A and B are shown apart, each in its own frame.
Chain A
């Protein structure tokens, strides 16, 4: 503790603090204290902080803060804006720890700012090579924290540890060779004394995995491949050697259940994306959710949403863990609105499929069978000439976070009802080259489509309400105990809806695409809501 206060003194020289006090008459922000595993495991109990990408280990993205609520949300105003100096869209979900906010920026940087003012404490700039292999932009979605250390994925497929007080680099571990097509964009997940993290590169013929690292040293503790190797269960679901270049990336953050000691993580498309001829079979464990043992990483169960996918329907969604009543019985479930257009409720202890149904326009499958396998519609696989299919490549939903609000019992997800022509091409695998086997084309302007926020009753998959937004949204969702749902839109709005009814209560135009999820926190008794739009991070609060 002595060392801590010493460091804090360096961080906030007392003269500076005094000046602040006189000028703005604020209280000193609370002392930054180390984030223990216990604090992370009970993150919901300290809603003033936002301690991990999805808020809590069950990833419900539901905050207990209620100072801003359905009654007063219309009085929200902007408190500060932080301009990210790099021109690129931000996908960041900042963390807030005891009044300090950690914002990740494109390409692979992180900045610590004062959560009340946006004033910068420090920046960490990650050196990157010039010949990166990235499929979809220079993105980073956020950091994880344990103790006094931040952990961040980088585009050159490193995992770095950064001192939370100073921004100094502590260690940098190469997770995989970037030149072979690997990259990293997602926030890691802390599980006890491990940094659990995934990999991107599903468009480059990589072999996906989920890793756990020692937070002190950066050494690999375990690796679980998301494609079984020769001799392992499931390897025979890939024809020939196709398993070795089968993708199945893990580019979004998972969830953790401490009682079951299981880590849940989604996996991406099999590669090449749109040409399944070269990888006949179910292609395990692509487009699946894996339940891994929290200590060893061993696969305890798997559930494959889209066997032998040819439409790029990654199961790269956040697993939401919720205990809900199913058929009169409380069940430990996992709720999952998939890119493929189906919503699934699984038993998270066993992976058993409880039920599912479409939540958006779907033409590639006519339904799910008793064990949750899709019933395919013939003639929907991509062709050389092109074939029209819903959902389009971007999916009925995608990586952007959904939310579950225990007060309303509703699951909220940003959905898209669109269609696209899918093409197949023949391609040879070349290391470090794109390996997708085709592509897609819209035949209508984007304005012909729109997105909706849908509120889904997870016990029936009924859509209880929906709120249309234009055009296609890629914004995540957060709900609060104030009865609110926050989200954004591609046309640059940030807005609050009544989580119960879907009624719009407040909106503000930030003018640039919202391509991230909101988060909320409290400093000195004042609640704030933060969202990234374009490459600016905006923070709102109630009018003083």
Chain B
């Protein structure tokens, strides 16, 4: 008998309130349909979700930790991207 392990899937759930699907964990399943069934059993037993996505883990491309500097440091100096960077006088009212 072959000893093939069920492949790994990443599970994303959208909660009650219309927010984005969020990664909640992973599980093993032979195919996408079973992955959804398992995800329902494992990750939504307490009404945590109204929609499930499953993605084969092997199909996910992740940034590598060594790229952390080049990828994310440039954002650090760009504080003008935040509304609080700009002083708007109180007289102008709510903006």
Do A and B share a complex? no
Binding site for A on B (CB under 8 A): none
